[in-house]
Amino acid sequence: MVKLRYEIEGGNFDLAGGASSQVKKVLKQLNIDPVLIKKIVVAMYEGEVNIVAHAYKGQIEVQIFPDRVEMKLTDEGPGIPDVEAAMKEGFSTASQRVREMGFGAGMGLPNMKKNTDELRIETEVGKGTTLIMTKYLAYE
């Protein structure tokens, strides 16, 4: 099992996507189906951008097992007051500033759900959010 860990800085859009890009490189070296890699990376990128856009700071832990990839994204931030609403496409609480940078289209959580097999959300308003995503790697 390979374990990777990345610290994410809130508000730093310059670096947003850096962790996902690293994970992509690692997955490519493991000869995992490019279609699956793309899904994993898209899901992780959304989560990474969410931390940058909404939280003060956070961290991403990725564990690669022979049969699955688990991503745990933890942040200290405002939390999600209405998870059900946040799961709807187009729902966004992103600030104008964030939207002007091309983020905050309200596709974050829906994209994460769409591209992974399991998505668990633990969130507390005013404290932070933890997302756990799992993608199973199908073998032929």
Partner 1 sequence: MSSNEKFHHALVVDDNKCIRCTHCIKTCPTEAIRMVNGKVEIREERCVDCGQCMRVCPHKAISIEQDDLVQIENYRFKVLLIPSVFIGQFPYAYTEDQIYRSLLKLGFTHVYEVEQPIEVLKTLIRREIRENKSNLPVISSFCPAVVRLIRIKYPAFTEQIMRVKAPHDLVAHYILENFKKQGVSPDDVGFFYVTPCAAKITAVKSPIGEEVSIINGVINSNHLYNKAMSVIEKVDELDVEPFKKELTKEGIQWSLTHGETWWQRAKTISVDGIHNAIRFLERMENGQVSGFDFLELRACDRSCAGGVLLSQNRFLVVERLKMRARLYPASSVKMEAEGYGRFSGLEPLAVTDEIKPRPLMLYGSDTFKALEKMERARNIMCHLPGIDCAACGAPTCRALAEDMVNGLAKMSDCIFIQQQWQNQGKVSPQKAFQKMEKKWGENRFDPDCTKKGAKDESF
Residues making contact with partner 1 (CB under 8 A): 1-2, 17, 20-21, 24, 26, 29-32, 34, 38, 41-42, 45, 64-66, 137, 139
- Consecutive H or E run containing 26: helix 18-29
Nearer to partner 1, 84 or 140 (CB): 140
Nearer to partner 1, 37 or 131 (CB): 37
Nearer to partner 1, 43 or 73 (CB): 43
Whole-number Å distance between alpha carbons of 89 and 5:
29
Quote the least distance from Cβ 126 to partner 1, whole Å.
32
Strands lying side by side in the sheet with 57-64: 2-9, 57-64, 68-76, 128-136, 118-124
Quote the least distance from Cβ 2 to partner 1, whole Å.
5
Nearer to partner 1, 34 or 81 (CB): 34
Q: Distances in Å between the alpha carbon of 19 and those of 23, 62, 65, 68?
A: 6, 10, 18, 18
